[in-house]
Amino acid sequence: MNRGKKIVILSHCILNQNSVVKPYAKEQKYYFEFIKNFLLNNCGIIQLPCPELLILGLKRWGHVKDQFEYPYFKRECKSLLYPIINQIENYIDNGYEIVGVYGVKGSPSCGINKTCRGNWEGEASCYKNLDDIVKRVHLVSEKGIFMETFEKLLNKKNIELNFYDIDDWSE
């Protein structure tokens, strides 16, 4: 059997647009060439779990990083990532190359170079109108909570990986 001995780690929604907050899902073909390139180069794919889907479900509304910066969400992210860290360690110990980790630009969980922040809380009815809330959302040069947690856990194991954004954000 010919193993490529290369692994790429992808945010959940890159392989499953069904998990994305409505109405932001794209047709899966949007990522086809990107994914096809890894497959043609004999690269294995690890799909990360989606913390937003698992914790908040499919009927969730859009969130910003500020809403995920609390102990329970961070703890759940860690528990979702421990099995992935174990896989990565096993692959590395057996001579595999981890090509990189791919997140989604702007995601409050899986952004790499950019994530969205917004200063609001409570019911939407507390604000003048929806535009008042939307105007509070902005991109910042930070990782999303899930990727931030992932990188910290990797660092504790002395594992350095390259992190990349897929540009999936309309500014």
How many residues would you count in the chain? 171
Higher pLDDT pick, 133 / 115: 115
For 23-31, what is the mean pLDDT?
Answer: 86
> Could you read off the pLDDT of 129-160 as tens digits, one per residue?
777 777 778 999 999 999 999 999 999 999 99
pLDDT of the residue at 170: 45
User: Quick one: tokens of 110?
Assistant: 């899986």
> Could you read off the pLDDT of 44-98 as tens digits, one per residue?
999 999 999 999 999 998 899 999 999 999 999 999 999 999 999 999 999 999 9
What is d(CA 126, CA 114) in angstroms, rounded to the nearest whole number? 28
pLDDT of the residue at 30: 87
Domain coordinates in residue numbering, the chain: 6-166
Top-ranked range on mean pLDDT: pick from 109-113, 133-137, 167-171: 109-113
Residue 114: pLDDT over 70: yes
**DSSP per-residue string spanning the chain:** -----EEEEE-HHHH-GGGSPTT----GGGGHHHHHHHHHTTEEEEEPP-HHHHHH-TTPPP--HHHH-SHHHHHHHHHHHHHHHHHHHHHHHTT-EEEEEEEETB-TTT-SS-EEEE---S-GGGSS-HHHHHTTEEEESS--HHHHHHHHHHHHTT----EEEE-----
Higher pLDDT pick, 109 / 26: 109
Q: Evaluate the CA torsion angle 72, 101, 24, 83 in order and state its sign.
A: negative
User: Quick one: tokens of 60?
Assistant: 């969730």
Q: What is the pTM of this model?
A: 0.91
User: Where does the pLDDT of residue 168 fall: very low under 50, low under 70, confident under 90, or very high at 90 and above?
Assistant: low
Start-to-end CA span in the chain (Å): 45
What is d(CA 148, CA 35) in angstroms, rounded to the nearest whole number? 23
